[in-house]
Structure 1
Amino acid sequence: MNLEKILEKLRDVIVGEIKEEFKTLRISVESELSGYRLAIESMNAGIAGIEARIAGIEERMSSLEKRQSALEIRVDSINNRIDDLNKRIDYIGGEIDEIRTELKHEIMQNTARIDQTNIRIDLLQDKLSEISNKLAEAVSNKEIINDIILSIERLESKIST
């Protein structure tokens, strides 16, 4: 990704600088080559150092590329886990909606049953009130009848005497 491009540009810049150094070295070596064997040997040592630096840089770049690959794999894995979690959340959300719909339906049915029960209770209360009134009337009538019976018994007892 961006890291690869940066690493590639960094490598190109470093390699370009090194190539420039090589060109400069070769130019100076060729001009002074005629008898400076010691100078050539020290230059060879410098070149060896540069080559060692290049090898180190390439090694680090290789290590960075491996780390980048490992990180990309981890990011992909995390993205997959996030996708799975989103799917589970969507599924649970759907189930919640279904349950909510079922509960609304059940509540509406229960409300209708309660309303019907309340109507029946009101009817039964009216009937109970009616029966209570009739019972009170019957008790009152019974007392009147008992009073009449008592009066008749008194009259009979007076007549018999």
Structure 2
Amino acid sequence: MARKLLSAGPAPVVTTLASARTAPTLGLSGAKLEARLRMKRSSAYIETLRKLDAGGHTHDRQTVEAFVAALRDELPDITIDQHPVGIVSQCYLGEPYEVHTLDRLGNIIHHYKRFEPLPPLLARGRVLAASGQYAFVEIYTDKVIAVAESGDVSIVRD
């Protein structure tokens, strides 16, 4: 008669620091991430971003928090490190201002005057944003996504 040497129960799971580092991250990658970023942006997302130039936004924390929530709602299936590092948009405060920038968290960083330099990473979207052809430009580490008023996107690779 054969004798069982191993128990019938499942082996215990041992998590070490090394195995935790190599665990897969949540979110999309590769072609799935590219396809997700190519999807049309919602009118609610575009409208929320437009409200940031309505005035008083630097003192109205609720408006900024609404933008952060809209960004999370718009791209819920991608991780925070896959979100845009910033957004550049045409500034409607009037002369001499041309564009304003938002960081990953949705904070208005600065309204930039014409010929005033932007941080290098965000500068890649300035011409597209200032042209008025797009509602705003999302800046990623490896690409720029111009978003039209209709929500359609155009991806420009570096």
Q: Same fold (TM over 0.5)?
A: no
- TM-score range (shorter-chain normalised) is under 0.3
Q: Which has the higher helix share?
A: 1
Give TM-score scaled by structure 1 length: 0.18
User: Relative contact order: is structure 1 or structure 2 higher (C-alpha 8 Å, sep ≥ 6)?
Assistant: 1
Q: Which has the larger radius of gyration?
A: 1
Q: Which has the higher strand share?
A: 2
Give TM-score scaled by structure 2 length: 0.18
